[in-house]
Amino acid sequence: MFFGSTRRISSAALLCLIRHVQEHISDGCKTLHHSSGRQRSGRLRKRLTDTRWPDEIPNTGWDYGSNLDYIKELVEYWRTDFDWRTQEAKLNEFRHFKSEVDGLDIHFIHEKGKGTAPIPLVITHGWPSCFFEMTKIIPLLADPASHGGDAADSFDVVAPSLPGFGFSDHARDRGMEVQRVAGMWNKLMTQNLGYLKFGAQGGDIGSGVTARLAFAHAENMYGIHLTSITRPTPYLGPGSRPITEEEQALITQRAKWFDEEGGYNHIQGTKPQTLAYGLNDSPAGLASWIVEKYRTWSDCGGDAEKRYTKDELLTIVTIYWVTQTISSSTRMYFENQKNLWVMDKDQKVPAPAGMAMFPQEISKPPREWGERSYDVRRWTEMTKGGHFAALEEPQLLAEEVRAFFREFR
C-alpha cells in the first residue's frame, strides 16, 4: 500500500512508514505489464515500433548527436528484450519510503548501516540520472564489511529522488532549484528521519544540493563529499588572489565545453517546456536524449556499453518514461539558471569538504579552484571514471567517501 502524508517523521517512527515503492513502481509499470496496463504496454511497444526515424548523413557516427544505428538497436532491444520485471525486482531489494517535505512526497531509499556507529549520509543524484544511479554504491556504503571494507566505515544511507525526478512529487510552483532542495533535504534528515547530524555526497545537480546544504546548514553536518564543483562560482573580484594558470585553463575549458556540448543545457535552462512535448511523447526521442549523455560524459571511449549494459541504460529511461518526469526534471535547469550562486568576498562553504575528481568528468578543476569556495580536507585525482561516478565506478567512489568521513567518526 501507499503512504499517506507524513508531516513529521522521527527516527523512532520510521518503522511506521509504509513501504510504497513496489506498488509505486508497479503502478508506473502498469504502462508495461499489468492487466489494465497490458493495453498501455501495447501502446508503448506500438510507439517504439512506429517510431518515425530521422535521416542521418552516412558515416558521421555521433558527430551530430545520437547515432541513428545505435538508437535503433537500443529501441529494438527495449521493444523486444528488455525485462522491466527483472529490473523492478532488483530495485525492490532496497528499502523504499516516501515522506512529506514542504508539501511534497519525497521518495527515498533508506538502508541502515551494518556497523557499530554508522554515519547518516544523504546521497543525491543529478540529471539525466535518477535514484537508480545510487543502487550500486548503496550496499558498499551501508555494509562495507561485505564488500571488502571495514564495518567501522558504515553509513545509514539515504538516497532521495530529487523533486520532479523518479517517484518524488513534482514542484507545484516556480523556484525548485538546488537551494530549495537543500532546505528540503535538511528537513528530511533532521525532522523527518530524526538524525541530529549527517553527511552528504553528490555529483552534478546533486553536488549543488550538497554544497547548498553545507552552506546553509553546516551546524547539522559532519561534512560533504563532491565529485563536481561547478557551484558556487568563487569570488574573483578585488582582493581575491590572482588566477593561476591551472584555473585559467579550467575557465577556458568550461567555455569551450559549453560551446561544443552545452546545447542541452541552454534549451533546458531557457525553454524546457518546449522540449518536453517531444520527449514526453516519444520513447525513442527520450532514449536518444538521455543515452547520448551517458556516452558523452562517461569514461567509455565512445562506447557507452563498455560502462553500462543496455538494461541499465533502459532502466533509467524507463523510470523517466513511466513517471513522465522528463519535463519536471529539465525544469530544474531553468530554475537553477534563474538563481545563480556567486560567492561574496571572503565567503566559503563552512562544512569540511572532500573532492574526488574523475578524469572524464565534465569539468576538471584544480585544487586551488576548489579551495576558493570550500574548506577542502581531502582532494583525490581519480584514475578512471566520469560524470556518473556512483554507477560507473561505485567501488572507487565508495572508498573515497569512506576515507573522507573516517575522521568524523
Q: Which residues are catalytic?
A: 204, 333, 387
Task: Please state at what angle helix 205-216 crosses helix 178-187, rounded to 10 degrees.
Answer: 60
Residue type, 5: S
Strands (E), 227-314: none
For residues 201 and 210, what is the distance between their CA atoms, to the nearest angstrom? 6
For residues 190 and 198, what is the distance between their CA atoms, to the nearest angstrom? 8
How far apart, in Å, are the Cα atoms of 311 and each of 45, 132, 160, 291, 352? 16, 12, 22, 12, 37
Strand partners, 156: 120
C-alpha distance across the termini of the chain, in Å: 37
Provide the Cα torsion 158, 164, 166, 167; round to 10°: 80
Q: Which residues of 157-179 are buried (b: 16+ CB within 10 A; e: fewer)?
A: bbbbbbbbbbbbbbbeeeebbbb
In what helix (H) or strand (E) does residue 357 lie, and over which residues does it extend?
Answer: strand 349-357
Write out the three cell numbers for 327.
519535463
Contact between 186 and 216 under an 8 Å Cβ cutoff? The reply is yes
Strands (E), 161-299: 198-202, 221-226
Cis upstream peptide for 232 (omega within 30°): yes
Among all chains, which residue has been given the C-alpha cell 531489494?
93
198: CB partners within 8 A, 6+ apart: 119, 120, 121, 122, 189, 190, 220, 221, 222
Write out the three cell numbers for 364.
576538471
Write out the three cell numbers for 122.
544523504
